[in-house]
Amino acid sequence: AWTAVDAYSFSHCHPASRPNTTILENTLKATEEAGLPAIAVSPSQGKFLALHCRSHGVTHALEVGTLGGYSAIWLASANPHLVKLTTVEYDAHHVEVARKNIEAAGLSDRIEVIHGAALDVLPKLQEEVKAGKREKFGFVFIDADKVNNWNYFKMALEMVRPNSVICVDNVVRRGKLADADNTEEGVVGSRQVVENAGKEKGVDAVVLQTVGEKGYDGWLWALVE
């Protein structure tokens, strides 16, 4: 039922006549053909993120975890305000596939894919933001190795403009988030970011559980004042 509702509602809210539908479908197809795992956001999730950025006039966004560029292409293609999305990916093959997809989507001028481990790249971005060489971000999407969720969140805090959102994907983990005995790396990383975001001054956050074609999960949605 979750998959059927996603398909039904997406097809009505985002009819195939929309110009970027083909681009987005081609991105998923090329990503699959290149052998990358099917772990991108769903079409409805991608659109939600893009609608958020569009409605808030986000001009500069940061993503941690590019994969084949699907969510990046959503953020750039469905938000006319976007000047630049910077996305960080450590797997060389994923970077190559993402850059090809972004080029095919005609978005190479608005999406910058940085190749490197986020723990190395984000401090460099922080320095550039501090030095005024890079704009502060209005939206950050954290979707990489879950064990470092809090590290990425903390670094993102230093790089966002007031009233921006940091979204951390996949924190619910089919309900394991609430199981204090679970010691899986991804669950521990998710609990850490949820608990610490709740204590952080100037941050007001919520965990929104989601179901859909990607199963049962959810994201942390944090407003940074």
Can residue 62 be called a binding residue for ligand SAM (CB under 6 A)? no
CB count in 10 Å sphere of residue 126: 16
Q: Does 39 bind ligand SAM (CB under 6 A)?
A: yes
Asked if 145 touches ligand SAM (CB under 6 A), the answer is: yes
- Cα–Cα distance, 20 to 105 (Å, whole number): 8
Contacts within 8 Å (CB) and 24+ apart, 183-187: 185/146, 185/147, 186/146, 186/147
Taking CB under 6 A as the binding criterion, the range among 5-13, 51-59, 61-69, 130-138 that sits at the site for ligand SAM is 61-69
| Residue placing its CB nearer to ligand SAM in the complex, 90 or 153 | 90
Assess 47 for contact with ligand SAM (CB under 6 A): no
Q: Is 107 in the site for ligand SAM (CB under 6 A)?
A: no
Binding ligand SAM (rule: CB under 6 A), the pick from 47, 52, 70, 191 is 70
Look at the block and give the residue holding tokens 């993402």. Answer: 98
- Name the segment binding ligand SAM (CB under 6 A); options: 33-41, 132-140, 156-164, 214-222: 33-41
From candidates 7, 34, 51, 117, binder to ligand SAM by CB under 6 A: 117
Instruction: Report 71-100 residues binding ligand SAM (CB under 6 A).
Output: 71, 88-91, 94
Annotate 128-153 with DSSP letters as a single string. Answer: HHHTTSSPPEEEEEE-S-GGGHHHHH
Does residue 153 touch ligand SAM according to CB under 6 A? no
| Selection from 133, 137, 120, 147 nearest residue 63 by Cα | 137
Within 10 angstroms of residue 50's Cβ, the number of other Cβ atoms is: 23
Give the other-Cβ count within 10 Å of 136's Cβ. Answer: 16
| Residues lying near ligand SAM in the complex (CB under 6 A) | 39-41, 65-67, 70-71, 88-91, 94, 117-118, 143-145
